A and B are shown apart, each in its own frame.
Chain A
Amino acid sequence: MSVLGGPPSAGGGAGAPLILRDVSLRIAAAESVALIGRSGAGKTTMLRLMNGIVLPTSGTVLVDGVPLAESDLIALRRRTGMIIQGSGLFPHRTVYENVGTVPRLLGWDDAKTRDAARTLMAKMAMAFDEFEKRMPRSLSGGEQQRVGIARAMIANPPLMLCDEPFAALDPIVRRELQETFIALRSDATIVFVTHDLAEALRVAERIVLVERGEIVVDCPAREFLQSKEPMARRFVESAMVAA
């Protein structure tokens, strides 16, 4: 069970305006949720609350029913996958070293890590032997993000946090990676930040619209297109213009 919730949660620097205000969100295990909203709405902050990179100024964040303030954040992060825009690969490490980061931290032996990396990369249409020793800078943007996904998913994390992972990729590669990602997710809980409505509908069964630090819509994905909420309308309309 991988639940996240908590009553008023708000993130904001000392004296700075609150980024999130009285946000309450409960995500069930194996659910896939897209957080959408405009730039600066607070969706990334919400995501970062979930693995303790951002700490709430008030309120609680619970993962698996345990308040983050009381849990071992380092251990939690090792079993939480995170994919970010531009992949964030370690530029001084090979593809294999990048993918093997969490296994190394968890103390897996090399044979087990190698097997897991080979299997996972094969599922993403990347030949392990060809890429193993390459450096990130020699990869295309799409390849880098594949490695980023492999690095995040190699230890089968029950919770996946995704922060606009495909936003910088061209539409064709983006589509490919969305499909790869959906195929790989198995039964992990997914929280996916994006400002692309089409992407949100593709990867998630539930859509949460964040505006100015508050949740304004929280509904099943298929109902979102019919939402009457003004900001939701604007998202739907601009997606249609773009299509």
Chain B
Amino acid sequence: MTAADILRVTGEHVVIVLIAVAVAIAAGIPLGVWCTRRAAASQVVLRAVDVVQTIPSLALFGLLIPIPLIGGIGARTAIVALILYSLLPIVRSTFTGIRGVDPAVRDAGVALGLTPRQLLFDVELPLAMPTIVSGIRIAVVAGIGIATIAAAIGGGGLGTFIFRGVAMVDTNLILAGAIPAALLALVADLLLTVVERKLIR
């Protein structure tokens, strides 16, 4: 194990999390917006993403393996699992953020003649953005931790060192996986907190 190895595996790790969170954002924000428009459906969607969150992560990775197209051994399955985990904080924060917009501000927008689309993009989403970013932050930080388990199903990433270290009772190897993962999480948390603060102004 060299520094180059650690760097390469860290890179893998980052890529897995970034892809997963990007997809979760692309799907989760529209889903969250949709939930604010459909009171009945929102209960179903929010409950469903809640339930996914309660599945132990190792079990979720394992459960996905036999599923055709998305399953199998490797990074793809890991990414699918991470997407499912990241959805909850993003859908929920989008929902909460938009619900939290001052009704007087929304009313004013309607009364001034904004179309529903203009209301969403010019008023609701910008005002919900700090809340949405905090949801993304939670998804990223949790994702970095959960992604270490991806190695159990051959997904690569820093978990590779941790699992190998555990098997060989090699503390150094475990730390070579654990320390970069912890640092990544801290850095991501810090960066996204800064973004969140900027948005709140």
Chain A residues proximal to chain B, CB less than 8 Å: 51, 53, 74-78, 80, 82, 84-92, 101-102, 105, 135, 148, 151-152, 161
Contact = CB atoms under 8 A, between A and B. Distances in A.
B105 A88 contact: yes
Nearest to B106: A88
Contacts, number: 59
B108 interface: yes
B129 to A, nearest CB: 9
B127 A91 contact: yes
Q: Is the interface of A mostly helix, strand, loop or mixed?
A: mixed
Residue with the highest number of chain A CB atoms closer than 10 Å, among B105, B109, B111, B201: B111
Contact of A53 (B105, B111, B114, B201): B111
Interface string B94-124: 0000000010110111111111001000110
Across the A-B interface, give the 4 residue pairs with the lowest CB-CB distance, nearest first.
Answer: A88-B108, A78-B113, A77-B113, A82-B111
A82 B114 contact: no
Contact of A78 (B105, B112, B123, B126): B112
Contact of A84 (B108, B114, B201): B108
Nearest to A101: B112
B130 to A, nearest CB: 10
B112 A86 contact: no
Contacts of A80: 111
Contacts of B114: 74, 101, 105
A2 B114 CA distance: 22
Contacts of B112: 77-78, 82, 101-102, 105, 151-152
A161 B112 CA distance: 11
B110 A77 contact: yes
A88 B104 contact: yes
Contacts of A151: 112
Contact of A90 (B108, B110, B113, B201): B108
Given A91-B127, A92-B126, A92-B127, A86 B113 contact: no
B113 A84 contact: no
A85 B111 contact: no
B96 to A, nearest CB: 17
A85 B104 contact: yes
A75 B113 contact: yes
